[in-house]
Each structure stands twice: as C-alpha cells, then as structure tokens.
C-alpha cells in the first residue's frame, strides 16, 4: 500500500479508490487495512458495496448512477468480465459449457475499454453476474454456484 500511495502521489493523481463492502465479502479489500492508511467511505450502494477513497486534493469520488442501479433489462444470465484475473477464463468456459448443455441463454460481455467500464450497471470488480435482471455477485462461478443462481 505504501508503494501504491507513493506512486500515485508521484504521478500527480488526485487519490486512490478501492472497492469494499459494509460486510466482509470474498475477494474484496479488508476495509480495516485501508482505513489504517486514511481511506474513508466515499460512496455506497443499497446492497452494501462501498467506495473507499484516499483523496490527495480534496476530490471525493462516487459511484456512477448507473453503477448504483445493480439491475439490467435482460432476463438472461449476463456476465460482465475482464481478463485481469487469471481464473476468469476458466469460469467463463465452465459457465458457457453448462449453459450450452442445459439450454440456458447466456450473454458474456467483456469489459475491455474504459467507456464500457464506466457504463456498467454495477460496481465492477472484473466479474459481475446478473440473472433475471438482478445483480447476483462479483464472485467467480463454479457449476454448483451457477446452478443455485439459475434456480432462483
């Protein structure tokens, strides 16, 4: 964290943001760790995701209105993803295979540009799952987890 802070200051950034949650969630930053460095909650969604920020110049970031929707119009299983995490491709492949074998409509949307990321209907952490129009999780799916989501 100290390296990250020094690097951001050296490059003239206005601050640093982290995705967190009101209650501990898998694969998200431990807020107590970030708060030791001065991070504060700058914004939050209705379902408990929080934007932690450490501002160097007084700028206060916020989630976009679109990100706070946490819903989409499509009723099919929809996954927004990027390739930052090396396990994403395995999860995409497993989900695609299960959906094809069981006749579930699936939409996979790779987020590969800043504009796509800014337009997302959720707080994105390189993987976001929607089913029947509702946000489900930012956690990667295995087949059992996928089956539970599809049964809802």
- Class of the CATH domain delimited by 66-151: alpha beta
- The H-or-E segment that residue 149 falls in is helix 143-151
pLDDT given at position 139: 87
pLDDT value of residue 138: 85
Classify each residue of 114-127 as buried b or exposed e, where b means 16 or more C-beta atoms within 10 Å of its C-beta: eeeeeebbbbbbbb
Where do the CATH 3.40.30 domains begin and end in the chain?
66-151
Counting as low any pLDDT under 70, the low residues of the chain are 26
């Amino acid at each position: 964290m100290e390296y990250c802070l020094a690097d951001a200051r050296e490059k003239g950034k206005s601050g640093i943001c982290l995705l967190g949650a009101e209650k501990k969630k898998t694969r998200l930053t431990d807020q107590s760790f970030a708060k030791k460095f001065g991070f504060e909650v700058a914004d939050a969604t209705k379902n408990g995701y929080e934007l932690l920020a450490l501002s160097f110049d007084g700028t206060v970031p916020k989630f976009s209105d679109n990100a706070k929707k946490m819903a989409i119009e499509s009723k099919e299983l929809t996954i927004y993803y990027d390739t930052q995490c090396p396990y994403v491709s395995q999860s995409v492949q497993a989900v695609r295979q299960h959906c094809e074998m069981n006749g579930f409509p699936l939409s996979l949307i790779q987020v590969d540009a800043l504009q796509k990321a800014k337009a997302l209907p959720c707080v994105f952490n390189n993987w976001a799952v929607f089913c029947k129009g509702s946000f489900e999780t930012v956690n990667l799916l295995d087949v059992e987890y996928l089956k539970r989501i599809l049964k809802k």
